[in-house]
Amino acid sequence: MKKILCLLFLYALFMTESQAHFWKTPEIKKIVSRESRKYGIPERIIYNLIDAESSGRAWIKGKPIKIKVKGKQIVTRAHGLMQIIPEFHYKGKREDLLNPEVNIMIGCKVLHGYIKRSKGDIVQALRRYNGQIKNKDNRYIKKITGRSPVEYRLATVKGVNVYQK
């Protein structure tokens, strides 16, 4: 068992970009491209968000989390590629969120809403998306943008946005 785990670790360590993103099928790329244009969110941000949230696994359901909905405490799970919490963002059947197209459409709509709410500040929007608006831990932001929040904001202010196509 230890040998298998060691081999898997070594494989993951040395796999190429294309191997690491096996989930970027032509169908997913088409959906991401469409939603990117629709909401003005750079494709790179969407791909990195999917990678951070689910590692590209459309069928995944997150670990149980406690949330408050209409004054009641409930336990729920986030669903799919962009880890959508149905109680907040989707009124349809939960299983629909395991469909990559539905999930990416909802996830991009949610992120776009957070960007508007954050007055265009994608760093704040990503913190909202991750449910960590008060937490100033920058690891999640760096995972999505590839830079620290300060570096990302500076690059955006200077008009040098390396996350466009």
Q: Are 80 and 103 in contact (CB under 8 A)?
A: yes
Decide if pLDDT at 7 tops 60. Answer: no
Given a contact cutoff of 8 angstroms between Cβ atoms, the answer to whether 57 and 23 are in contact is yes
Position 157 pLDDT exceeds 70: no
What pTM was estimated for this model as a whole? 0.74
pLDDT at 4: 57
Cβ atoms of 142 and 148 within 8 Å: the answer is yes
> Residue 58 half-sphere exposure, CB side, CA atoms within 13 Å?
16
Q: Average per-residue pLDDT in the chain?
A: 77
pLDDT for 3 equals 59
How do residues 13-45 score in pLDDT, each as one tens digit?
Answer: 444 444 445 678 899 999 999 999 999 999 999
CATH of 18-157, one of 3.40.50.2300, 1.10.10.200, 3.40.50.970, 1.10.530.10: 1.10.530.10
Can you give the pLDDT at residue 40?
A: 92
d(CA 149, CA 84): 23
pLDDT at 11 over 60: no
pLDDT in tens, 141-152: 888 887 665 666
Residue-level pLDDT at 16: 42
145 or 2, which is more confident:
145
* Sequence spans of domains, the chain: 18-157
pLDDT class of 163 with cuts at 50, 70, 90: very low
| pLDDT, tens only, 72-117 | 888 888 888 889 887 777 788 878 888 999 999 999 999 999 999 9
Q: Is 158 helix (H, G, I), strand (E, B) or coil?
A: coil
The answer to whether 126 and 140 have CB atoms below 8 angstroms apart is yes
Between 9 and 115, whose confidence is greater? 115
Q: What is the pLDDT of residue 19?
A: 44
Q: Please give the pLDDT value at position 29.
A: 94
d(CA 70, CA 68): 7
Measured CA distances, 108 to 7, 34, 72, 81 (Å): 36, 10, 27, 11
Contact 57, 76 (CB under 8 A): no
